[in-house]
Each structure stands twice: as structure tokens, then as C-alpha cells.
Amino acid sequence: MNLVLSIASHAFDAALALVYPQPCAICGGSVESRHDGVACARCWNEAPLFRGDETLCWKCGALSLANVSDDKRKTIRCSRCDDDAFTAARACGLYEGALRASILELKRQPHVARRVAQLMFDVQQREPLNRADVIISVPLHHDRERERGFNQASVLARELARLVGLPFDEHSVVRRVHTERHRAGMDAKARRQSVANAFTVRHPKSIAGKRVLLIDDVFTTGATVSACATTMKDAGVTEVFVLTVARA
Ligand SMILES: [Zn+2]
Ligand SMILES: [Zn+2]
């Protein structure tokens, strides 16, 4: 984090400490702890979070209705993600309620509530994401990053790297095409094509042979993280795991 952003973040922390309790972004009730960010404890309790015992597509993390014993969970595949380049993707929960409100807030302020950071940490500790040895965030195009002032995925990645004790590589992968806003009505195939060549690896030597944990805020179709994974694997990365705060 550069110095200005670091100072801004600390100033923001101080401001947060002053304004709590604040109204919950979801129910309007009172958020008593700044660690909860924009949602109150009750809304966090009601958030559709994954607790680690759900049956998921082992690859993309989609909820599965299959009823299997624990030892068979690694065999579950939804088949929709067969072509995706990542090894496995997981999220803290569904893009609703407290997680959705937290993600929307993160687009406005470069600050990760402790509750959100802890949820990401918990998911990272589980198989198979705990096999990664370096953290990378899905890059924004630099025009877009300049417009917003920060990349929300990098803010998440930096905080997770600090908690987990893994290196955060912020510079090896860059976005060369501005594909952030998909046109309304784009289907999955059109999205995939629009993002296919969006990324490039600037420093292949620094990531070759590594197992990457790729961070983004939301997993929607998987097109973006899959394109980013393809680019990194072409550069010699052996495996790409994906962790997002939520999945749509
Ligand atoms: Zn609430
Ligand atoms: Zn799947």
C-alpha cells in the first residue's frame, strides 16, 4: 500500500471509531461493533454464509444438492465449470445481505471490516485453498483504478495476506483491456469472449511454479477469474485457487 493510501486508511479507521454505533446498511438497526463494518450483528447472523460442511461442486464451489458422505465430497462436480482454468473456487457465502452490503461498501472505501477478513481467513484455511503459496488479486485496468482510487480486490488480498502470512504479489499480473463493465444482456459465452485476453503477466519468473490464491470480491459466472487463471497458467503457474467474498 502506498503511503498516501495507508494514511487515508488509518484516518478512515479513526473516523469509523468515532461514528460507531452507526445504522445498519440492511435493516437500519444499530451496528455496535466497528468489526462488523456496515451490517449489524443480527444481519450477520442471518447472512447466507458457507460454514464448510455444505456439499459444493469441489471445483467451482457451487452449492450442490447431492447427498454424499464426507469422503466423497471431493468427487462432486457441477459440470458447468469443466472448462474453467482454476483448480478450485470458494466464497464466504452468497451475494446477499451482509456480504453484499460489505462488498458495495468496499467499492466506496478501501477498508475491510474485520468480520469480512476473518470469514476469508476461515475459507482459506480449508482444503483445497490452503495449498496456495502466494496471493494475487484480480487486477483492475489502470484507468479504472485511477478513477476509483484503489482496487477493491487488492484491498481484500492485502488484508488476507497479512492474516495468513503469505506473500501478496500485486505487480506480476496486469489487466490490459478495460472489461470491467459487461454490457447488459451479455450471456456467459459473450462474457467469456470479452474477458478472454484481458490479462497479461508482466513478471512470469516471479510466479512460475507457484500455486496462486486469486482474490476477487464477487464470483458471478467465473469468466473473469478463469481468464486470469488461464493467463497465469500460460506463464507457468501450476495451480490457481480462487477466493471471493461472495458468489452470485
Ligand atoms: Zn442489520
Ligand atoms: Zn462447478
pLDDT digits (tens, 9 = 90+) for 89-124: 999 999 999 999 999 999 999 999 999 999 999 999
- Centre of ligand 2 to C-alpha 97, Å, is 24
Going by pLDDT thresholds of 50, 70 and 90, the confidence category of residue 4 is: low
- Centre of ligand 1 to C-alpha 24, Å, is 5
Given a cut of 70, is residue 215 above it in pLDDT?
yes
Cell output for 200: 497479461
- Centre of ligand 2 to C-alpha 32, Å, is 38
Identify the pLDDT of residue 190. 76
Given a cut of 90, is residue 153 above it in pLDDT?
yes
User: Mean pLDDT lowest for which of 149-163, 166-180, 215-229?
Assistant: 166-180
Identify the pLDDT of residue 12. 57
Name the E strands within 95-221: 134-137, 173-175, 199-201, 211-219
Ligand closest to Cα of 30 equals 1
Name the E strands within the chain: 22-23, 30-31, 88-94, 134-137, 173-175, 199-201, 211-219, 239-247
Given a cut of 90, is residue 177 above it in pLDDT?
no
Ligand closest to Cα of 27 equals 1
Identify the pLDDT of residue 196. 79
Are residues 139 and 175 in contact, defined by beta-carbon separation less than 8 angstroms? yes
Report the share of the chain in percent with pLDDT over 90. 75
Cα 122 from chain centroid (whole Å):
13
As residues whose CB is below 5 A from the ion ligand 1, the structure lists 24, 26-27, 29, 40, 43
Identify the pLDDT of residue 167. 98
- Centre of ligand 2 to C-alpha 83, Å, is 10
Are residues 87 and 239 in contact, defined by beta-carbon separation less than 8 angstroms? yes
The answer to whether domain 3-182+189-247 has CATH 3.40.50.2020 is: yes
Q: What is the mean pLDDT of residues 164-177?
A: 94
Cell output for 97: 445481505
Ligand closest to Cα of 59 equals 2
Cell output for 67: 447427498
Going by pLDDT thresholds of 50, 70 and 90, the confidence category of residue 152 is: very high
Identify the pLDDT of residue 211. 98
Going by pLDDT thresholds of 50, 70 and 90, the confidence category of residue 59 is: very high
- Centre of ligand 2 to C-alpha 73, Å, is 13
Mean pLDDT of the chain: 90
Identify the pLDDT of residue 23. 95
Given a cut of 60, is residue 212 above it in pLDDT?
yes
Ligand closest to Cα of 89 equals 2
Given a cut of 60, is residue 2 above it in pLDDT?
no
- Centre of ligand 2 to C-alpha 60, Å, is 4
- Centre of ligand 2 to C-alpha 31, Å, is 36
Within 10 A of 77 (CB to CB), how many other CB atoms are there?
Answer: 15
Tell me, yes or no, if the pTM score tops 0.75. yes
Identify the pLDDT of residue 245. 98
Given a cut of 90, is residue 1 above it in pLDDT?
no
Q: Give the residue, 202 or 71, on which the prediction is more confident.
A: 202
Ligand closest to Cα of 222 equals 2
Q: Give the residue, 201 or 193, on which the prediction is more confident.
A: 201
- Centre of ligand 2 to C-alpha 78, Å, is 4
Ligand closest to Cα of 62 equals 2
